[in-house]
Structure 1
């Protein structure tokens, strides 16, 4: 059931995003990236990490479930920090803020559609929270450090480079962190 959301959005956009190197905190620049790929590299994990953080709150998962296209998801996911995130994504990809915002809005809409389709009749606040908890490590492995999303979302673990590491010890540490992050919703 838990398809990789980052991979789906990469295909949806027709872009190529790469996992971040945990040592350099950058993507491999030996391959030339098109500007659109850089935009996707920043926008996809930025939007997904916003969804992840929003699903940690009881009111957040309820709002996502009840969203019927009445409000742009990016607006409620990021609130007053939306334009700062858009600015950072635009800077990273060297595109206009308007282009970054349009792309991020499309990603947020597709993410919502995809998750609701994935969970189908099992969509509940708990299943939504668990779904994003299961995606956490994958999301963070694509998140460029330059965006400093943890700083914006008041969660230093988001920017922690151990989230980008792979292997048995890192996997064990990430499993323990995922267990604690999915064990309950934060109170607002």
Structure 2
């Protein structure tokens, strides 16, 4: 019997890529430990914000919210010309599908939009899942365009901020 409960998990500042046998690509911050084939795309290094912080992930709530917001995520992905799997990976990594997630730095909602980014993308209510997803997807699309479709740089910029990537000469920040 599998017991699904809230388990303390270190907050991750890593993004992994995995391709299944059918060629579907998945992005996650939580690779399945017994599986092989996960490629580390990005790690934040020794960011003190992540080094000592922990989050609690309720697996049941995560799966329910994933199902609840899946259509919205796919709609936002289509509008921004992104693969839904990429948007799902960012939502899972950023908020674990929690629309009320709030980071220590003030990022909010499913896509963990900072207030300045929300304003920039016309998001008047970061807690509204549809607005949050639309703004986050548009931002991610702009980052991919800004960094010549380089997924590693776009994901790093989404997490650390585009200026951090630019500061390091369009390289992943340490």
Determine which structure has the larger strand proportion and give its number: 2
Which protein has greater RCO, CA pairs closer than 8 Å, 6+ apart? Answer: 1
Q: TM-score, normalized by length of structure 2?
A: 0.32
Determine which structure has the larger helix proportion and give its number: 1
